[in-house]
Structures are given as structure tokens and as C-alpha cells.
Amino acid sequence: GAVVSQHPSRVICKSGTSVKIECRSLDFQATTMFWYRQFPKQSLMLMATSNEGSKATYEQGVEKDKFLINHASLTLSTLTVTSAHPEDSSFYICSARVEGPGNTIYFGEGSWLTVV
């Protein structure tokens, strides 16, 4: 079945630095990918929709200048958390949609970000 890979799975960064998380569709092309954030004991909240070759669409309340999303190819979307703060510490997970019948969505393994 389709596989979505995220990297890194865990990252610790210092406050004020930037960190990039990659989301790759390994065996299919994805024109649309989605980025979610999950705080402890909370559900997944959609941050933005990443569109290949165009600007991402951000959900209300998500700062586009802080969470930079780049979808430069049909198999790769990146999320960069800029000027990270401890409150950005969270579980970030991406998903990709397989175009076609069913439009199945596959999720990556997620990335744990800890800002110290």
C-alpha cells in the first residue's frame, strides 16, 4: 500500500532556531498534502493544506510566517517551524492524498518536536 514517510521522527532544538520536517510520499505522487499538529492528550488539528506548485492554505489561527510550508515536488512537502518557542513543542504529522477512486489518505509516522 501507499507509504508516507516523515523525517525526522524526533527533534530537539533550541528556542529561537528553526527546524524543518519532511513529508515524502514514497510510491505515489501527491498534489495535496496536509499538515496536522497534536498537543498532548489532544486531537489532531489541521494546520495547513500543502499544494504542489502553489502556496499552502493555512487554517485560521495558524501563522503562515512561522510555519513555512513548501511543496516543491509531487512527492515532498516540508514544514519549517521558524523561531521556535517551547510552546511549539508538539507532535506534527502529515498526510497525503492518493488521487483516484476512493481518494485514500495516508499518514506519515509523525514527528515529535521539543523546543528547549
Partner 1 sequence: KQEVTQIPAALSVPEGENLVLNCSFTDSAIYNLQWFRQDPGKGLTSLLLIQSSQREQTSGRLNASLDKSSGRSTLYIAASQPGDSATYLCAAPNSGNTPLVFGKGTRLSVIA
By the 8 A CB rule, do 77 and 33 touch?
yes
**How far, in Å, CA of 36 to CA of 22, rounded?**
13
Among positions 13, 44, 68, 76, the unique one binding partner 1 when judged by CB under 8 A:
44
Among positions 23, 24, 67, 108, the unique one binding partner 1 when judged by CB under 8 A:
108
For the bound state, the minimum distance from the C-beta of residue 44 to partner 1, rounded and expressed in Å, comes to 5
- Please tell me the count of residues contacting partner 1 according to CB under 8 A: 22
**b vs e for 21-49, b when ≥16 Cβ sit within 10 Å of the residue's Cβ?**
bbbbbeebebebbbbbbeeeeeebeebbb
Q: Assess 2 for contact with partner 1 (CB under 8 A).
A: no
Site string for partner 1, 46-65 (x = CB under 8 A): x--x----------------
Kindly indicate which of the ranges 13-21, 67-75, 81-89, 92-100 contains the residues binding partner 1, using the contact rule CB under 8 A: 92-100
**How far, in Å, CA of 70 to CA of 114, rounded?**
22
**How far, in Å, CA of 24 to CA of 87, rounded?**
26
Residues that bind partner 1 (CB under 8 A): 32, 34, 36, 42-46, 49, 93, 95, 97, 102-110, 112
